[in-house]
Structure formats: C-alpha cells, structure tokens
C-alpha cells in the first residue's frame, strides 16, 4: 500500500473537487446530479483524510495564533508565541524539561484550534 505525501493527498483532494465541478456541469445539462455526488462520496471514502493546513499556509494573526496550540512532530503539542525575525515561529513546549522555548519552520506547525489565554490570578 503506498504511503502518499502530504502534497499528494492535497493534490488528490483538489483534483477530485475539480472533477466534481466538471461532472456537475455536465449533470446539470443532463439533469442527473445525484449520481455524481454519490461517486464523489465513494472516492472520498477511499482517499486519506485531507491534512489540516500548516502555519506555512496560514497568515499569522495575533488574535488567532498567539498562545494557540499547534502540533509539532518532535515535541507533540506546543504553544505558539509569535513569528521570529528569521521567519520561524517561536513556541513554548510545556512538556519539555531541557528546552521549553524554541522556534520551528512554519510548515512544521499544524494548528489544533485550541487557544490559551492568560488571566490574572485573584487572591
């Protein structure tokens, strides 16, 4: 069984979407759209799931990404802090003991949708 790359999976999903659009245009002419939509569902079931976008595909937005969680292959879950001057993204890794602060290439960080906020403790 082949092990497709991230780019190959994204290309396959994009190609399927384009084929669907062409097929639906033809189906509108012939009047049978349900058959084409059923075929798309069967093909999607056989494809690997579409990968989540990495930070290389997303423009940094402080409101969305500051203190947001991301998956980073070597460390697992990390908390993004912000873009560094060299184009990398700085992050904090709470699980590491030796080096909790580091930076990574944008393409290696995949946001999870989870976000943290700092709050002042009331004593």
Q: pTM, whole model, 2 decimals?
A: 0.68
Q: What secondary structure, in 3-state letters, does 82-113 show?
A: EECCCCCEEEECCCCCCCCEEEECHHHEEEEE
Is the CATH code 2.30.30 the one for domain 62-115?
yes
Q: What is the pLDDT along the chain (123 residues), one digit of tens a residue?
A: 478 888 888 888 888 888 877 877 776 666 666 777 777 788 888 888 888 899 999 999 999 999 999 999 888 899 999 999 898 999 999 887 777 889 999 999 999 999 999 899 888
What residue spans define the domains of the chain? Answer: 6-46, 62-115
């Amino acid at each position: 069984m082949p092990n497709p790359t991230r780019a190959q999976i994204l290309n396959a999903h994009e190609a399927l979407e384009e084929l669907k659009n062409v097929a639906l245009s033809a189906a509108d002419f012939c009047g049978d759209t349900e058959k084409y939509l059923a075929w798309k569902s069967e093909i999607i079931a056989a494809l690997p799931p579409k990968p989540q976008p990495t930070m290389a595909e997303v423009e940094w937005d402080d409101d969305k990404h500051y203190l947001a969680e991301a998956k980073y292959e070597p460390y697992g879950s990390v908390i993004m802090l912000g873009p560094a001057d060299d184009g990398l993204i700085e992050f904090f890794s709470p699980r590491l003991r030796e080096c909790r602060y580091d930076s990574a290439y944008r393409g290696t960080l995949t946001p999870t949708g989870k976000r943290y906020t700092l709050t002042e403790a009331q004593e």
